[in-house]
Chains A and B, each alone.
Chain A
Amino acid sequence: MAHHHHDEGSALEENPLRVKALESLLVEKGYVDPAALDQLIDIYENKVGPRNGAAVVARAWVDPQFKAKLLSDATNAIKEFGFEGRQGEHMEVKENTPGIHNMVVCTLCSCYPWPVLGLPPVWYKAAPYRSRAVSEPRAVLAEFGVTLSDDTEVRVWDSTAELRYLILPMRPENTDHLSEEELALLVTRDSMIGTGIALEEEPK
């Protein structure tokens, strides 16, 4: 799958018109409500995204009881934030530790925990990541700038069923003085996919 849409040939240039024609037909036939389409786009473009997951992670970093619940009953723990529904019906959270590094892939399609991370980036859905994450995870991590020692076990979670995985990254050192809200700013999307680690310091 191509990484950048502008690398595509003429087939892509036909898309905008084709999609517009399709939408008009489906609206005219009464199958879709155009207001629903606009709201769906607004939700995933502006309201749901990795900030949701970052809030969950920061809470787990400061609240041991919440963390215990998150690791044992993730769906309900995450629901406490109001993050629920489509593509988050069956949540699982895996904790990264000095000895174990977890990362998530969907080799067969693009399964991703929408309520906490929003829609997946192109690379997550594209062939290079989906092919290589399971067979050479350390090489993939290195491309993301993450180098692990051989002593750290790498666990790759291939999302083949309806369970959706969120990684709980390690809390960075020397962050005791930060509030939960400040800690959330250190939690990147990639650290919750497992292809990154949390930031060392608050971005300026």
Chain B
Amino acid sequence: MNGGHDLGGRHGLGPINPEQNEPVFHGEWEERVFALTVAMGFCGEWNIDAARYARENRNPADYIQASYYQVWLYGLLVLLQERDLLLEGELETGIAQKTRATKFAPKAEEVLSKLALGGSCARETSAAQEFSVGDKITTRNINPKAHTRLPSYTRGKTGTVAAVNGVFVFPDSNAQFLGEDPQYCYSVRFEGSELWGEQAEPNSCVYLDMWEPYLEHA
């Protein structure tokens, strides 16, 4: 979706202002939002792409003004409500009305082993690999209202395939629970001048990881 999260190349957002000696969390509520988000993810009720979509699918002004753990909290509430894991009124009253079984309900030790295991997105496909290293490609000008990992600033641009990363779960499909639809994923190099025209800084380029459905031969 062309949402507030799709920030590459936007202007007017100010200086970076890194915080010196920044703590990992700013206050206890951030700790809890982080842990709840990770722990609920292990219940198997959604996938990482659906979680990203839940965070970005909102009014762009609200997204930009929120702190990052506010974005995570918003996304978590959306996911819980969509799946009836949190019912209307429960958060306001603090009283649980109804519970349903989740796919998994991992205990602490299982959560830790799942964390160490991670979740590989590498899959297999019988499809032929369309592009090779060195190929010139042009990205498709797609504007889906649902989740995509093709940033706006790269659409309709021409670059060069720098590497074949492998075959990965396709987020555009997975986020909508339409299946993993594994696709080849490539590392693609775009010159700064191709992306930003005469405003590009000298001798700069951007590499992005792009799934085959985003690409056409140039």
Q: Which A positions have Cβ atoms within 8 angstroms of B?
A: 1-5, 8, 11-12, 15-16, 18-26, 28-33, 35-41, 43-45, 49, 84-90, 107-110, 118-119, 121-123, 125-132, 134-140, 143-144, 150-163, 190
Binding site for A on B (CB under 8 A): 5-11, 13-19, 22, 24-36, 38-40, 43, 52, 55-56, 64-68, 70-71, 73, 76-77, 80, 85-86, 90-91, 94, 96, 99, 102, 105-108, 111-112, 114-122, 149-151, 153, 165-166, 168-169, 185, 187, 195-196, 199-211
**B172 CB to closest chain A CB, in angstroms?**
12
CA–CA, A36 to B17, complex, Å? 34
Contact A40 B206 (CB under 8 A): no
Q: What residue in chain B is nearest A87 (Cβ atoms)?
A: B118
Chain B: minimal CB distance from A22 (Å): 6
- Closest A residue, CB atoms, query B113: A85
The answer to whether A161 and B165 touch across the interface, beta carbons within 8 angstroms, is: yes
Determine the distance from Cα of A33 to Cα of B85 in the docked complex, in whole angstroms: 15
Q: Is the interface of B mostly helix, strand, loop or mixed?
A: mixed
Question: Could you tell me if A84 and B116 are in contact, using CB atoms closer than 8 angstroms?
Answer: yes
Contact B204 A138 (CB under 8 A): yes
Question: Do A134 and B195 touch across chains, with their CB atoms under 8 A apart?
Answer: yes
Q: How far is the CB of B46 from chain A (nearest CB, A)?
A: 13
Residues of B within 8 A of A25 (CB): 86, 90-91, 94, 96
B116 touches A41 (CB 8 A): no
A35–B38 Cα distance when bound, in Å, is 13
Do the beta carbons of A31 and B43 come within 8 Å of each other? yes
Task: List, sorted by A's number, 26 A–B pairs whose CB atoms are closer than 8 Å.
Answer: A32-B36, A33-B106, A36-B39, A36-B107, A37-B35, A41-B25, A88-B118, A107-B153, A108-B149, A109-B52, A122-B26, A122-B68, A127-B7, A135-B8, A135-B200, A143-B15, A144-B16, A144-B18, A154-B201, A155-B207, A156-B204, A158-B206, A158-B207, A160-B210, A162-B169, A163-B165
Whether the Cβ atoms of B9 and A4 lie closer than 8 Å is no
Contact A90 B91, CB 8 Å, known A127-B13, A134-B8? no
B165 touches A154 (CB 8 A): no
What separation, in Å, do the CA atoms of A126 and B4 have in the docked complex? 12
User: Is A153 touching B205 in the complex (CB atoms < 8 A)?
Assistant: yes
A24, A28, A128, A161: the one within 8 Å of B16 (CB): A128
CB distance from A121 to the nearest CB of B (A): 5
